[in-house]
Amino acid sequence: MSKTKATILIIDDDEDILLSARLLLKKQYENVITQTNPKEINQLISKENIDVIVLDMNYRIGFNDGKEGMYWLNHILSVNPKMVVILMTAYGEVELAVDAIKNGAFDFILKPWSNEKFLATINAALTLSRSNQKNRILKSANAALNENIDSKFGPIIGSSKAMQQLMSIIDKVSATEANLLLLGENGTGKQHLAREIHKRSEFKDGPFIHVDLGALSENLFESELFGHVKGSFTGAHEDKPGRFEMAENGTLFLDEIGNLSFALQSKLLTVLQDRKVSRIGESIERPFNARLLFATNAPINKWVAEGKFRQDLLFRINTVEVEIPPLRKRPEDVLEFVTYYLNFFKEKYHKSHLKISNDAIKTLQSHHWPGNVREIQHTIERGVIMSDGHEINTSDFNLSTMSIPQNKNNKEFDDLNLQNIEKLLVQKALKKHEGNISKAAKELGLTRAALYRRLEKFNL
């Protein structure tokens, strides 16, 4: 029988006890270390990757008060709070051992022990130890991932009065558990702001889970959000937790909530009210603990008045409602975005010498920016890429074909470039249907996924 890959450390001043424990455990585990002197604990912990420690309660002849065991238990947990420690004690010290469990010990074993009981306790402790190790790895990976994502999104930019007011609200609500509804046009930075709220909240050490509800079909909605069990439907080859479970002790950001059908709105409302989810094919209700953030570019309050969105769901998701102003309403922030993205893309494309001409700066400041922050980011990137000399000129940005024509009565296209016409039609469809992706896609004869690809393509 193959042995379990694990390292068990046993500390006891009785050589016979150590020998008995070692002979028993060596049959099950690859590495069993024994030690008579607890003062060697620090060196052993630093040198060995120990999974479980079995610690005697007494080390001096004639002393049976267990104080040394308690001291070394507290010391081990101060060095590594996640270390799994089992105490060995005599029958008369059971009450003390129970107190030790309250102080962080995993369990205790009575001497003389039952081999079956001893092995069962070690196995249970090893299971906890492996779980702790896995959680530490996941937490480290999550921290590294968040750091990488944060570098992609960059800081919150803008010192205009509108942005100061917005960030004042964010400061107040981030530390709470209140549900937040972020409103704003495409490209205003709703996901960016949601991440900022997460970083400032008490859930910052947990995961940040972003779900684009507009990209989920009705068939996938429950499986993605609530999870499913193996065999619950065709293609369910294994148990899968939903996004609510994945966001445990973190933040769940449900984007484009305005695109949900009435049926899906009802299902979501039930989950938000009960704070529990049930996986497809399972009757067990699983409580979740996550900060909930929501966002939409739709005129949600107007839709409630028109009967297009459930009022009770709106009440549930917008304990606090935050509207992100579009760039055209805070033109004084444009230059800050230009400066930030210019420095970012100069470094990315190794063009540290570049600067933007005065005429190009004036053009950028006077531009309407229908695509908001996303558009300005891609515009500056294009300018850096296309520039040949030491200066970026207006022509490098190609802004002339990026604005929506102001003359609504003009029924002809002066620009016959097919991509520009396609972009104009997408913009008009979105405007006509007030940002509703599903309706705009239907009018354009596209699937929602195809429309999303065009929104990305045209920086909308």
Cα distance between residue 458 and residue 370, in whole Å: 11
Fold (CATH) for 158-325: Rossmann fold (3.40.50)
Beta strands 251-255 and 291-296: pairing type?
A: parallel
Low-confidence winner among 164-178, 237-251, 368-382, 445-459 (lowest mean pLDDT):
445-459
Domains 4-133 and 329-457 agree in fold: no
**First-to-final CA distance of the chain:** 61
Percent above pLDDT 90 for the chain: 49
How is the chain split into domains, by residue range? 4-133, 158-325, 329-457
Average pLDDT over residues 71-76: 90
**Span 50-70, pLDDT tens digits:** 999 999 888 765 556 678 888
Question: What is the C-alpha separation between 181 and 203, in angstroms, rounded?
Answer: 17
Query: What's the whole-number mean pLDDT along residues 408-421?
Result: 56
pLDDT tens, position by position, 322-366: 999 999 999 999 999 999 999 999 999 999 999 999 999 999 998
pLDDT (0 to 100) of residue 182: 96
Q: What pLDDT, in 10s, does the model give residues 6-28?
A: 999 999 988 999 999 999 999 99
So what's the architecture of 4-133 in CATH? 3-Layer(aba) Sandwich (3.40)
CA-to-CA separations, 18 to 15, 21, 36, 151, 161, in angstroms, rounded: 5, 5, 8, 52, 71
pLDDT above 60 (res 301): yes
In whole angstroms, what is the distance from residue 55 CA to residue 76 CA? 10
Tokens linked to 221: 């909605």
CA distance 56 to 108: 10
Region 329-457: CATH code: 1.10.8.60
pTM above 0.95, yes or no: no
| Residue 410 confidence (pLDDT) | 47
CB atoms within 10 A of CB 371: 24
Q: How many CB atoms neighbour CB 209 within 10 A?
A: 19
Whether 406 shows a pLDDT value over 50: the answer reads no
Residue 402 has pLDDT above 50, yes or no: no
pLDDT recorded at residue 257: 94
Q: Name the more confident of 293 and 241.
A: 293
3-state secondary structure the chain: CCCEEEEEEEECCCHHHHHHHHHHHCCCEEEEEEECCHHHHHHHHHHCCCCEEEEECCCCCCCCCCHHHHHHHHHHHHHCCCCEEEEEEEHHHHHHHHHHHHCCCCEEEEECCCHHHHHHHHHHHHHHHHHHHHHHHHHHHHHHHHHHHHHHHCCCCCCCHHHHHHHHHHHHHHCCCCCEEEECCCCCCHHHHHHHHHHHCCCCCCCEEEEEHHHCCHHHHHHHHHEECCCCCCCCCCCEECHHHHCCCCEEEEECHHHCCHHHHHHHHHHHHHCEECCECCCCCEECCCEEEEEECCCHHHHHHCCCCCHHHHHHHCCEEEECCCHHHCHHHHHHHHHHHHHHHHHHCCCCCCEECHHHHHHHHHCCCCCHHHHHHHHHHHHHHHCCCCEECHHHHCHHHCCCCCCCCCCCCCCCCHHHHHHHHHHHHHHHCCCCHHHHHHHHCCCHHHHHHHHHHCCC
Tokens coding 214: 């507009």
